[in-house]
Chain A
Amino acid sequence: MSFAQLDPLLHSQLRLAVMSLLIGVDSAEFVFIKEKTGATAGNLSVQLDKLSNAGYISVTKSFKGKKPLTTCSITKVGIKAFEDYVNNLKQYIE
C-alpha cells in the first residue's frame, strides 16, 4: 500500500486543515479559517480555489457593510472525499 491512494487534493497541510475545520461547522468565514490555520491570505485563497474547483467546498462572496465577505462551507462531494481520505488513512494506522 502506498500513499498514492490518498487524495492528493486533501493530502496537503493547508487544504486538509481547511476541510477539517469545515467538516464540523455549517459555514465559516475566510477570516475565521485564516485565523485558525495561520495561513497567509494569498496562499489560503489559492487553496480555497483548488478545493472549490474540485467541488469539495462552496465559496460564497458577499458584502458585510462595505467589506467583501467570503463564506465557505463543505459540499456533499467534499464530505465524501474527506470521509474516504480518513478511511484510507485508517488503513495505514491499523
Chain B
Amino acid sequence: MSNKELSKDESLALITDMISQAKRNVAKGGSFYFLLWGWVVMFANLGHYLIAKFDWLDYPYIVWTLTIPAVIASIVYGAKKSKEKVKSHLDRLYSQIWLAVFIGVIIILFFMGNVNYNVNAIILTFAGIGTFISGRALRFQPLVAGGIALWISSIVAFNLHPIDQYLVGAVGILAGYLIPGYLLRKAEK
C-alpha cells in the first residue's frame, strides 16, 4: 500500500475492506470462561449440597477452594489473550462486565453473614446479569436465555433454605453457563 491519492470509489472500497478485515480478526467470545466456571461452580455447588445435606464433613465450604485454581486459570488465559495483536471493543466490554460481576460477588461473600448466608441466590442474580449482557453484546441468544435461567434459579433459591440453594445453584449454572457455553464454543468454530 502506498501514499497515493484515491478516487472516491477507491476510498469507499478501501474503507469497507479494512473494516471487514478488522472484524474478521476480532477475538472470539469467551466460551472458555463459561465452561471453566460452569464446571467448577456446578461441582462446588453440588459438593457443598451433598456434604452439608448428609453431614459428611464439618466444613462443606471446603469445596469452594476449587475456585482458586479457576481464578488462576482465568488470569493466565486472560493474560494470553491480551497478547493478541488487536483488541476489539467487545473484548474490552466483555472483560469489564465480568470484572464487575467478580467484584460484586467478592463483596457479597465478604458480608455473607449479614445476609444470613443467603449468598447463593444473590450470586445467581449477579451471574445472570453478566450472562445476559454478554449474550446481548455477542448477539448470542442461548446466553441471553442462560441469563434468564440464572435469574429464575435465583428466585427459586431465595425461597429455599441456604443449603438447598446450593442444589438450585448447580442446576442454574448448568442451564446458565454450561449449556450456553458449549453452544457458544460450537458457534466459535
Contact = CB atoms under 8 A, between A and B. Distances in A.
B85 interface: yes
A38 B1 CA distance: 6
Nearest to A32: B85
B86 A29 contact: yes
A11 B5 CA distance: 6
B189 interface: no
B91 interface: yes
Chain A interface: which size bin? 20 to 34
B5 A24 contact: no
Nearest to B93: A26
Contacts of B92: 26
Contacts of A89: 8, 11-12
Interface stretch (B20-28, B65-73, B118-126): B20-28
A81 interface: no
Given A21-B21, A22-B22, A35-B85, 13 more contacts: A13-B5, A16-B18, A20-B17, A25-B88, A26-B87, A26-B91, A27-B86, A28-B87, A31-B85, A32-B25, A43-B2, A47-B3, A89-B12
